[in-house]
Amino acid sequence: MELVVVNGSSAIARGVVSKLAGKQYSKIRFLDYRPYRKSVYSFQRSLPAGTQLEKHMVQTAANLDLALEGAQDVVYFTHDYFASSSDKNSFIQATSKLAKKHGVGKLVAVCPIEHELYWSEDKHTPIEVRDEAQQKALQFNDKLTILNTNLVYGRDSYLLHYMTQCAYEGKINKAIGGSTKFQYKPVSSDDLTTAIQYAIANTDSVKGQKFSVNGQQSVTLNEILQFAERKVGRENTRLKSSLLGLNLSDYVEEFFVGITHDKNMARMAEFFDTHSVNIEGDADFHQKFGIEQTGTLEGFFGGKKVKEEDLVFPIFSNYKMVSLD
Protein backbone atom coordinates (compact mmCIF):
# COMPACT_ATOMS: atom_id res chain seq x y z
CA MET A 1 0.00 0.00 0.00
CA GLU A 2 1.01 3.62 -0.54
CA LEU A 3 0.88 6.49 1.93
CA VAL A 4 0.92 10.04 0.56
CA VAL A 5 2.36 12.55 3.03
CA VAL A 6 1.79 16.24 2.38
CA ASN A 7 4.56 18.34 3.97
CA GLY A 8 6.44 15.24 5.01
CA SER A 9 9.92 16.68 5.45
CA SER A 10 9.54 18.06 8.98
CA ALA A 11 11.01 16.16 11.93
CA ILE A 12 7.57 15.51 13.42
CA ALA A 13 6.28 14.13 10.11
CA ARG A 14 9.36 11.96 9.59
CA GLY A 15 9.00 10.60 13.12
CA VAL A 16 5.45 9.48 12.42
CA VAL A 17 6.12 8.08 8.95
CA SER A 18 9.12 6.10 10.17
CA LYS A 19 6.72 4.10 12.36
CA LEU A 20 4.29 3.44 9.49
CA ALA A 21 6.76 2.62 6.72
CA GLY A 22 7.34 -1.06 6.06
CA LYS A 23 4.44 -2.12 8.27
CA GLN A 24 1.30 -0.74 6.71
CA TYR A 25 2.91 0.92 3.73
CA SER A 26 5.60 -0.28 1.32
CA LYS A 27 5.62 3.00 -0.62
CA ILE A 28 5.73 6.54 0.74
CA ARG A 29 5.04 9.54 -1.47
CA PHE A 30 6.51 12.73 0.05
CA LEU A 31 5.04 16.04 -1.12
CA ASP A 32 6.92 19.02 0.24
CA TYR A 33 8.17 22.51 -0.53
CA ARG A 34 11.71 21.19 -0.02
CA PRO A 35 11.62 17.38 -0.35
CA TYR A 36 15.36 17.14 -1.06
CA ARG A 37 16.54 18.24 2.38
CA LYS A 38 19.52 16.42 3.88
CA SER A 39 17.33 15.11 6.68
CA VAL A 40 14.97 13.50 4.15
CA TYR A 41 17.84 11.54 2.60
CA SER A 42 18.97 10.43 6.07
CA PHE A 43 15.38 9.38 6.74
CA GLN A 44 15.26 7.50 3.44
CA ARG A 45 18.38 5.49 4.33
CA SER A 46 16.76 4.47 7.62
CA LEU A 47 13.60 3.05 6.04
CA PRO A 48 13.00 -0.70 6.18
CA ALA A 49 14.37 -2.68 3.25
CA GLY A 50 11.99 -2.72 0.32
CA THR A 51 10.24 0.53 1.28
CA GLN A 52 10.14 3.01 -1.58
CA LEU A 53 10.27 6.77 -0.96
CA GLU A 54 9.10 8.97 -3.82
CA LYS A 55 9.74 12.73 -3.51
CA HIS A 56 7.68 15.48 -5.14
CA MET A 57 8.44 19.18 -4.94
CA VAL A 58 5.17 21.00 -4.24
CA GLN A 59 5.38 24.79 -4.31
CA THR A 60 2.09 25.68 -6.02
CA ALA A 61 -1.51 24.47 -6.04
CA ALA A 62 -0.89 23.06 -9.53
CA ASN A 63 2.06 21.02 -8.18
CA LEU A 64 -0.13 19.70 -5.37
CA ASP A 65 -2.91 18.84 -7.79
CA LEU A 66 -0.63 16.68 -9.94
CA ALA A 67 1.13 15.08 -6.97
CA LEU A 68 -2.15 13.89 -5.40
CA GLU A 69 -3.22 11.92 -8.46
CA GLY A 70 -4.05 8.33 -7.54
CA ALA A 71 -3.71 8.89 -3.79
CA GLN A 72 -6.01 7.03 -1.40
CA ASP A 73 -4.44 7.29 2.06
CA VAL A 74 -3.22 10.85 2.70
CA VAL A 75 -1.73 12.38 5.84
CA TYR A 76 -1.22 16.14 5.82
CA PHE A 77 1.13 17.95 8.22
CA THR A 78 1.35 21.68 8.81
CA HIS A 79 4.70 22.51 7.22
CA ASP A 80 7.64 23.77 9.29
CA TYR A 81 8.55 26.79 7.13
CA PHE A 82 7.89 30.33 8.29
CA ALA A 83 9.13 32.33 5.31
CA SER A 84 9.45 31.98 1.53
CA SER A 85 6.72 29.33 1.42
CA SER A 86 2.98 28.97 0.97
CA ASP A 87 0.55 30.17 3.63
CA LYS A 88 -0.16 27.40 6.13
CA ASN A 89 -3.87 28.15 6.40
CA SER A 90 -4.32 28.25 2.63
CA PHE A 91 -2.37 24.98 2.28
CA ILE A 92 -4.74 22.89 4.39
CA GLN A 93 -7.72 24.26 2.49
CA ALA A 94 -6.11 23.53 -0.88
CA THR A 95 -5.22 20.00 0.24
CA SER A 96 -8.80 19.42 1.37
CA LYS A 97 -10.26 20.64 -1.93
CA LEU A 98 -7.84 18.73 -4.15
CA ALA A 99 -8.15 15.53 -2.12
CA LYS A 100 -11.89 15.63 -2.75
CA LYS A 101 -11.30 16.31 -6.45
CA HIS A 102 -9.10 13.21 -6.71
CA GLY A 103 -11.43 11.01 -4.69
CA VAL A 104 -9.03 10.44 -1.80
CA GLY A 105 -10.67 7.95 0.53
CA LYS A 106 -8.82 8.73 3.76
CA LEU A 107 -7.49 12.18 4.68
CA VAL A 108 -5.99 13.04 8.08
CA ALA A 109 -4.55 16.50 8.78
CA VAL A 110 -2.02 16.75 11.62
CA CYS A 111 -1.49 20.30 12.87
CA PRO A 112 1.19 20.69 15.58
CA ILE A 113 0.84 23.94 17.52
CA GLU A 114 4.59 24.46 17.27
CA HIS A 115 4.37 24.63 13.46
CA GLU A 116 1.87 27.49 13.42
CA LEU A 117 3.06 30.97 12.48
CA TYR A 118 2.83 33.17 15.57
CA TRP A 119 2.78 36.44 13.74
CA SER A 120 -0.35 38.04 12.39
CA GLU A 121 -1.44 41.53 11.44
CA ASP A 122 -5.00 40.27 11.56
CA LYS A 123 -7.18 41.38 14.45
CA HIS A 124 -7.64 37.71 15.36
CA THR A 125 -5.01 35.60 17.08
CA PRO A 126 -3.00 33.04 15.07
CA ILE A 127 -5.01 30.21 16.65
CA GLU A 128 -8.30 31.85 15.74
CA VAL A 129 -7.11 32.28 12.15
CA ARG A 130 -6.02 28.63 12.08
CA ASP A 131 -9.37 27.44 13.43
CA GLU A 132 -11.23 29.44 10.81
CA ALA A 133 -9.14 27.91 8.03
CA GLN A 134 -9.67 24.42 9.45
CA GLN A 135 -13.41 24.91 9.56
CA LYS A 136 -13.41 25.85 5.89
CA ALA A 137 -11.26 22.82 5.08
CA LEU A 138 -13.80 20.56 6.82
CA GLN A 139 -16.58 22.14 4.77
CA PHE A 140 -14.68 21.48 1.54
CA ASN A 141 -14.22 17.77 2.22
CA ASP A 142 -16.41 15.59 4.43
CA LYS A 143 -13.74 12.87 4.62
CA LEU A 144 -11.21 15.13 6.34
CA THR A 145 -10.19 14.50 9.95
CA ILE A 146 -8.12 17.12 11.78
CA LEU A 147 -5.78 16.34 14.68
CA ASN A 148 -4.51 19.45 16.46
CA THR A 149 -1.52 18.30 18.44
CA ASN A 150 0.04 19.70 21.55
CA LEU A 151 3.86 19.87 21.63
CA VAL A 152 5.39 16.65 20.31
CA TYR A 153 8.35 14.87 21.88
CA GLY A 154 10.37 11.88 20.79
CA ARG A 155 13.51 11.12 18.84
CA ASP A 156 12.11 13.21 15.97
CA SER A 157 10.71 16.40 17.42
CA TYR A 158 10.91 20.13 16.86
CA LEU A 159 10.69 22.56 19.79
CA LEU A 160 11.66 19.98 22.42
CA HIS A 161 14.68 18.92 20.38
CA TYR A 162 15.73 22.57 20.11
CA MET A 163 15.31 23.03 23.86
CA THR A 164 17.46 19.96 24.51
CA GLN A 165 20.15 21.37 22.22
CA CYS A 166 19.97 24.66 24.11
CA ALA A 167 20.27 22.89 27.47
CA TYR A 168 23.41 21.14 26.24
CA GLU A 169 24.79 24.44 24.92
CA GLY A 170 23.93 26.17 28.20
CA LYS A 171 21.81 29.06 26.92
CA ILE A 172 18.29 29.60 25.59
CA ASN A 173 15.96 32.45 24.66
CA LYS A 174 14.36 33.78 27.84
CA ALA A 175 10.88 33.78 26.27
CA ILE A 176 11.15 30.00 25.83
CA GLY A 177 13.22 28.77 28.76
CA GLY A 178 11.73 31.28 31.19
CA SER A 179 8.10 30.53 30.30
CA THR A 180 6.36 29.57 33.56
CA LYS A 181 2.71 30.45 32.92
CA PHE A 182 1.16 28.38 30.16
CA GLN A 183 0.64 24.67 30.78
CA TYR A 184 1.28 22.39 27.79
CA LYS A 185 0.50 18.68 27.59
CA PRO A 186 3.22 17.28 25.29
CA VAL A 187 2.34 14.11 23.41
CA SER A 188 4.87 11.46 22.41
CA SER A 189 5.53 10.78 18.74
CA ASP A 190 4.54 7.15 19.35
CA ASP A 191 1.15 8.13 20.76
CA LEU A 192 0.59 10.62 17.94
CA THR A 193 1.32 7.85 15.44
CA THR A 194 -1.20 5.59 17.17
CA ALA A 195 -3.85 8.31 16.85
CA ILE A 196 -3.11 8.73 13.14
CA GLN A 197 -3.25 4.98 12.56
CA TYR A 198 -6.61 4.81 14.31
CA ALA A 199 -7.97 7.74 12.28
CA ILE A 200 -6.91 6.11 8.99
CA ALA A 201 -8.33 2.73 9.94
CA ASN A 202 -11.62 4.13 11.27
CA THR A 203 -12.45 6.86 8.77
CA ASP A 204 -16.21 6.54 9.17
CA SER A 205 -15.95 7.21 12.92
CA VAL A 206 -13.72 10.28 12.70
CA LYS A 207 -14.31 11.97 9.33
CA GLY A 208 -15.67 15.50 9.28
CA GLN A 209 -14.40 16.19 12.80
CA LYS A 210 -11.40 17.74 14.52
CA PHE A 211 -9.77 16.62 17.73
CA SER A 212 -6.95 17.62 20.05
CA VAL A 213 -4.06 15.23 20.64
CA ASN A 214 -2.43 15.71 24.03
CA GLY A 215 -0.15 13.93 26.43
CA GLN A 216 -0.98 13.00 30.00
CA GLN A 217 1.14 15.52 31.93
CA SER A 218 0.79 19.31 32.18
CA VAL A 219 4.08 21.23 32.17
CA THR A 220 5.44 24.68 31.41
CA LEU A 221 8.30 25.26 28.99
CA ASN A 222 10.54 26.03 31.95
CA GLU A 223 9.75 22.61 33.42
CA ILE A 224 10.47 21.01 30.04
CA LEU A 225 13.84 22.78 30.06
CA GLN A 226 14.57 21.19 33.43
CA PHE A 227 13.77 17.76 31.95
CA ALA A 228 16.13 18.54 29.07
CA GLU A 229 18.89 19.60 31.47
CA ARG A 230 18.68 16.25 33.22
CA LYS A 231 18.78 14.51 29.84
CA VAL A 232 22.04 16.18 28.88
CA GLY A 233 23.53 16.12 32.38
CA ARG A 234 23.75 19.88 32.76
CA GLU A 235 21.95 22.57 34.73
CA ASN A 236 21.45 26.30 35.16
CA THR A 237 20.88 27.05 31.47
CA ARG A 238 21.34 30.79 30.93
CA LEU A 239 18.22 32.66 29.83
CA LYS A 240 19.16 35.07 27.05
CA SER A 241 17.30 38.31 26.32
CA SER A 242 17.86 40.79 23.52
CA LEU A 243 20.28 43.68 23.92
CA LEU A 244 18.57 46.41 25.95
CA GLY A 245 15.28 44.60 25.30
CA LEU A 246 15.02 46.30 21.90
CA ASN A 247 14.95 43.11 19.78
CA LEU A 248 17.14 44.83 17.20
CA SER A 249 18.24 41.50 15.73
CA ASP A 250 14.61 40.76 14.84
CA TYR A 251 14.54 43.53 12.28
CA VAL A 252 17.80 42.42 10.69
CA GLU A 253 16.75 38.74 10.52
CA GLU A 254 13.29 39.48 9.16
CA PHE A 255 14.69 41.86 6.52
CA PHE A 256 17.09 39.28 5.10
CA VAL A 257 15.36 35.98 5.88
CA GLY A 258 11.85 36.49 7.20
CA ILE A 259 10.46 34.90 10.37
CA THR A 260 13.08 32.46 11.64
CA HIS A 261 12.49 29.18 13.45
CA ASP A 262 13.91 30.28 16.79
CA LYS A 263 12.05 33.60 16.63
CA ASN A 264 8.73 31.89 15.91
CA MET A 265 9.32 29.53 18.85
CA ALA A 266 9.87 32.52 21.13
CA ARG A 267 6.75 34.23 19.80
CA MET A 268 4.75 31.08 20.40
CA ALA A 269 5.89 30.99 24.03
CA GLU A 270 5.08 34.67 24.48
CA PHE A 271 1.70 34.25 22.81
CA PHE A 272 0.53 31.43 25.05
CA ASP A 273 1.89 33.12 28.17
CA THR A 274 -0.09 36.29 27.44
CA HIS A 275 -3.35 34.92 25.96
CA SER A 276 -6.09 32.80 27.46
CA VAL A 277 -6.13 30.10 24.80
CA ASN A 278 -7.55 26.65 25.33
CA ILE A 279 -5.61 24.41 22.96
CA GLU A 280 -7.48 21.39 24.31
CA GLY A 281 -10.86 22.79 23.28
CA ASP A 282 -11.62 20.00 20.82
CA ALA A 283 -12.36 16.49 22.08
CA ASP A 284 -9.20 14.66 23.17
CA PHE A 285 -8.63 11.92 20.58
CA HIS A 286 -7.19 9.27 22.86
CA GLN A 287 -9.87 9.77 25.50
CA LYS A 288 -12.68 9.88 22.95
CA PHE A 289 -11.81 6.50 21.47
CA GLY A 290 -10.33 4.84 24.56
CA ILE A 291 -6.81 4.58 23.17
CA GLU A 292 -4.14 3.92 25.79
CA GLN A 293 -1.10 6.19 25.79
CA THR A 294 2.34 4.76 26.48
CA GLY A 295 4.60 7.82 26.36
CA THR A 296 5.65 9.84 29.41
CA LEU A 297 7.99 12.79 29.74
CA GLU A 298 9.82 11.03 32.55
CA GLY A 299 10.29 7.97 30.38
CA PHE A 300 11.61 9.95 27.43
CA PHE A 301 13.90 12.31 29.31
CA GLY A 302 14.95 9.78 31.93
CA GLY A 303 17.24 6.82 31.54
CA LYS A 304 20.32 7.11 29.37
CA LYS A 305 21.89 10.51 28.80
CA VAL A 306 21.52 11.85 25.28
CA LYS A 307 24.43 11.29 22.90
CA GLU A 308 26.25 14.42 21.77
CA GLU A 309 25.98 13.35 18.12
CA ASP A 310 22.18 13.32 18.42
CA LEU A 311 22.26 17.05 19.17
CA VAL A 312 24.40 18.21 16.24
CA PHE A 313 21.58 18.74 13.74
CA PRO A 314 19.89 21.02 12.97
CA ILE A 315 22.85 23.32 13.61
CA PHE A 316 21.93 26.49 15.52
CA SER A 317 22.50 28.79 12.54
CA ASN A 318 19.84 26.90 10.58
CA TYR A 319 17.21 27.87 13.15
CA LYS A 320 17.74 31.35 11.71
CA MET A 321 17.11 30.20 8.13
CA VAL A 322 14.04 29.34 6.09
CA SER A 323 14.82 25.62 6.15
CA LEU A 324 16.48 23.67 8.94
CA ASP A 325 18.74 21.86 6.45
In this structure, is residue 317 part of a structural domain? no
Q: How many domains does the chain have?
A: 1
The pLDDT score that the predictor gives to residue 244 is: 46
> In sequence order, which residues have a C-beta less than 8 Å from that of residue 304 and are 6 or more positions away?
none
The pLDDT score that the predictor gives to residue 252 is: 57
Average pLDDT per consecutive 10 residues, the chain (325 residues; last block may be shorter): 97 97 94 95 95 96 97 98 89 98 98 93 86 98 98 96 97 97 98 98 98 97 97 95 59 62 95 90 95 96 86 93 86
In this structure, is residue 316 part of a structural domain? no
In this structure, is residue 246 part of a structural domain? no
* Domain residue limits at 90: 2-156+186-216+278-293
> Which stretches does DSSP call E strand in 140-223?
144-149, 152-153, 171-173, 187-188, 210-213
In this structure, is residue 166 part of a structural domain? no
In this structure, is residue 211 part of a structural domain? yes
Backbone angles phi, psi at 29, to 5 degrees: -110, 110
Q: Using CA atoms, how far apart are residues 106 and 73, in angstroms rounded to an integer?
A: 5
The pLDDT score that the predictor gives to residue 307 is: 84
Q: Using CA atoms, how far apart are residues 17 and 27, in angstroms rounded to an integer?
A: 11
Residue of 228, 234, 215, 238 whose CA lies nearest to 287: 215
Q: Using CA atoms, how far apart are residues 231 and 309, in angstroms rounded to an integer?
A: 14
**CATH code of 64's domain:** 3.40.50.720
The pLDDT score that the predictor gives to residue 222 is: 98
